[in-house]
């Protein structure tokens, strides 16, 4: 019975010390946060991009005159 407990405890320790996949999990969480923020601020982001494009069009039209 003690061998079973020691083996189980060893498996638990191995699980916690194994860091494979942590980088993948971190990347997934970062992408999830970015997507959530993009959805929350969708209208603001759209306005900023539209205003920037209009500004660039205006300045490029002035430059080509």
Looking at residue 21, what is its pLDDT?
65
In this predicted model, what pLDDT tens digit does every residue of 2-40 receive, in sequence order? 676 667 777 767 766 766 667 788 889 999 999 999 999
Task: Over range 47-53, report the average pLDDT.
Answer: 97
Cβ atoms of residues 48 and 41 within 8 Å? no
Residue 64 has pLDDT above 70, yes or no: yes
Answering whether pTM is above 0.75, one says: no
Looking at residue 2, what is its pLDDT?
65
Looking at residue 53, what is its pLDDT?
97
The DSSP-derived string for the chain is: -HHHHHHHHHHHHHHHH--TTHHHHHHHHHHHHHHHHHHHTHHHHHHHHHHHHHHHHHHHHHHH-
């Amino acid at each position: 019975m003690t061998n079973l407990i020691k083996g189980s405890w060893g498996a638990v320790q191995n699980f916690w010390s194994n860091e494979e996949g942590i980088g993948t999990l971190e990347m997934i969480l970062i992408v999830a946060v970015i997507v959530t923020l993009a959805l929350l601020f969708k209208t603001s982001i759209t306005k900023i991009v539209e205003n920037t494009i209009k500004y660039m069009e205006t300045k490029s039209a002035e430059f080509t005159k």
